[in-house]
Amino acid sequence: MTESPQNAQVSGPLSGAASEPAPKPAVRDHGGTLSAAIDVWCGGRADWIDVSHGSNPRHEESPPLSPDDWAALPDQCAQDALIEAARSFWNVPAEADILAAPGASALIARLPALRPAGRVRITLPTYNEHAAAFEHFGWDISDTGPSEAQVVVHPNNPDGRLWRAQELTAPFRIIDESFCDICPEKSLIQEAATPGTVILKSFGKFWGLAGLRLGFAIGDPALIAGLRAAMGPWAVSGPALRIGTHALNNHDWATTTRQQLAAASARLDLLMQNAGAQVLGGTDLFRLYDVADAKAWQDRLARAHVWSRIFPYSSRFLRLGLPPADRWSQLEEALS
């Protein structure tokens, strides 16, 4: 069974959506394609609101950087400080190892190589890079039945589904918690102590610093060792080490930000419902809506220089991230 929490942080699964064929994992599409929208609908980049991705529009302020952060190879002390901050922030079990990497995507691309190819269970719809990575390494992909590996995105993108530990049944388990920092009480981080488990954390989503390229793999020391060998030395830049350590140690910022994101996502839901959309789920970083014609909605918003996300497997799904605090009026006018 899936979990449907009572608070506004995460909602799902797709109980209210119109019936459509089951999605297929073949197409690799992403949000954040603003340059393509500008090519069609013109305008300068500053004229646009990009809500096609799920990153926090209010990013964590960076600490001052030293010349050595840029010029010197990242030293072990800086790497150790980042790992210590990560272990504290996510309450990582002592038995689990942690690897920092240049973004969660770099880890996703390497994870399937850690075990011999077999069958991997990936329940759809979800983030498509997992299926693409496993397919690249020769795995058979299924969304049901027994398997040698299992991938869950928790909470799920795009519908916000939450998973329970007892639903993870494969010997090789990947739990993608890229969006779980908005609801840390729902984290499955204790599963990181279970053999065969890797939990992914993304720095770009909650902290709003996607361009920094920082992510983490947490879990079975044997699996983390394999990833560490594949990454090689100095995988994380000096600036990313310093900024990541500062942010992970700033627990007060995280608490305040969760409150702000909850209020903003509720405001977005109300705005979209008043415009005729039905809320299907999502998280406090992105919301998923059911609309009669998703492409028509995307075009309508784009004419007002608001870029949204639609999906190749659904004609009705429209996903919106949160606009910057000073750009809500542009979204409101686009929907009026």
DSSP string over 47-69: G-EE-SS---SSPPPPPP--HHH
Is residue 21 pLDDT above 50, yes or no? no
Most confident range (mean pLDDT) of 2-16, 32-46, 309-323 is 309-323
- Return mean pLDDT, the chain: 91
Q: Which amino acid is at 287?
A: R
- State the residue for tokens 């995307």: 298
pLDDT in tens, 117-135: 999 999 999 999 999 999 9
Q: Mean pLDDT, to the nearest integer, of 96-110?
A: 97
Residue 190 and residue 198: Cα distance in Å, rounded? Answer: 11
Does residue 9 sit within a domain? no
pLDDT classification of 32: cutoffs 50, 70, 90: low
239-261: per-residue pLDDT in tens? Answer: 999 999 999 999 999 999 999 99
Q: What single-letter DSSP state applies at residue 181? A: G
Report pLDDT for 30.
Answer: 61
Number of domains comprising the chain: 2
Q: Residue 14 domain-assigned?
A: no
Residues 125 and 272 reside in one and the same domain: no
CATH assignment at residue 33:
3.90.1150.10
Say if residue 100's pLDDT is above 70: yes
- Residue 268 clears pLDDT 70, i.e. is over it: yes
- Beta strand 197-202 pairing with 172-176: parallel
Q: Please say which residue of 207, 236, 251 terminates a domain.
A: 251
Question: Within 13 A of 293's CA, how many CA atoms are on the CB side?
Answer: 6
Q: Which two tokens stand for residue 157?
A: 């993108």
Which of 251, 283, 301 finishes a domain? 251
**Higher per-residue confidence, 262 vs 16:** 262
Q: Would you state the pLDDT for residue 202?
A: 96
273: in domain: yes
In terms of Cα–Cα distance, which of 100, 92, 83, 113 is closest to 249?
Answer: 83
> Going edge to edge, which strands form the sheet with 10-11?
10-11, 278-283, 286-290, 314-321, 309-311
What is the pLDDT, as a whole number, of residue 28?
A: 58
| 11-20, 44-53, 84-93, 248-257: least confidently modelled range | 11-20
pLDDT at 36 over 90: no
User: Does 281 lie in the same domain as 154?
Assistant: no
